[in-house]
Amino acid sequence: MAELGAKVLGAVDAETAHYLTIRMLKDGWGPKVSLETPHLAMEVAGLSFPNILGLAAGFDKNAEAADAALDLGFGFVEVGAVTPRPQEGNPRPRVFRLRADAGVINRYGFNNDGLEVVAARLKARERKGIVGVNLGANKDSEDRAEDYVTGVRGLAGLVDFFTVNISSPNTPGLRALQGKSTLEELMRRVLTARDDAAPGTPVFLKIAPDLADEDKADIADIARATALDGLIISNTTITRAPNLRSAKAEEKGGLSGKPLFAMSTALLKEFYGTVGAEVPLIGVGGVSSARDAYEKILAGASLVQLYTALVYEGPGLLLRILNELPSYLDADGFQTIAEAVGAAAR
**48 labelled catalytic:** no
Q: Is residue 345 part of a domain?
A: no
- Measured distance CA(40)–CA(23) in Å, rounded: 30
pLDDT (tens digit per residue) in 264-299 = 999 999 999 999 889 999 999 999 999 999 999 999
Rounded to the nearest integer, the mean pLDDT of the chain is 94
pLDDT (tens digit per residue) in 193-217 = 999 999 999 999 999 999 999 999 9
pLDDT of residue 337: 96
pLDDT of residue 1: 40
Residue length, the chain? 346
pLDDT of residue 10: 65
pLDDT (tens digit per residue) in 22-72 = 999 999 998 888 788 899 999 999 999 999 999 999 999 999 999 999 999
Number of domains in the chain: 1
- Measured distance CA(57)–CA(159) in Å, rounded: 14
- Measured distance CA(48)–CA(252) in Å, rounded: 38
Q: Where does the pLDDT of residue 2 fall: very low under 50, low under 70, confident under 90, or very high at 90 and above?
A: very low
pLDDT (tens digit per residue) in 50-62 = 999 999 999 999 9
Q: Where does the pLDDT of residue 346 fall: very low under 50, low under 70, confident under 90, or very high at 90 and above?
A: confident
Please, what is the Cα angle at 228 between 84 and 226, to 5 degrees? 105
Q: How far is CA 47 from CA 102, 159, 188, in A?
A: 32, 12, 22
Q: What is the mean pLDDT of residues 96-120?
A: 98
Q: Which residues of 111-149 are buried (b: 16+ CB within 10 A; e: fewer)?
A: bbbbbeebbebbeebeeebbbbbbbbbbbebeebbebbb
Asked if omega into 234 is within 30° of 0 (cis), the reply is yes
Structural domain for 255, as ranges: 2-340
Question: What CATH number is given to the structural domain containing 291?
Answer: 3.20.20.70
Q: Which residues of 241-255 are buried (b: 16+ CB within 10 A; e: fewer)?
A: eeebebebbebebbb
β-bridge mates for residue 254, sequence order: 106
Q: Where does the pLDDT of residue 8 fall: very low under 50, low under 70, confident under 90, or very high at 90 and above?
A: low
- Measured distance CA(239)–CA(217) in Å, rounded: 21
Q: Where does the pLDDT of residue 101 fall: very low under 50, low under 70, confident under 90, or very high at 90 and above?
A: very high
pLDDT of residue 6: 53
Q: Is residue 199 part of a domain?
A: yes
Could you write out the three-class secondary structure of 239-301?
A: CCCCCCCCCCCCCCCEEEEHHHHHHHHHHHHHHHHHHCCCCCEEEECCCCCHHHHHHHHHHCC
Q: Is residue 346 part of a domain?
A: no
pTM: 0.96
Q: Is residue 189 part of a domain?
A: yes
- Catalytic residue chosen out of the listed positions 141, 167, 168, 256: 168
Three-state DSSP class for 52? coil
pLDDT of residue 177: 84
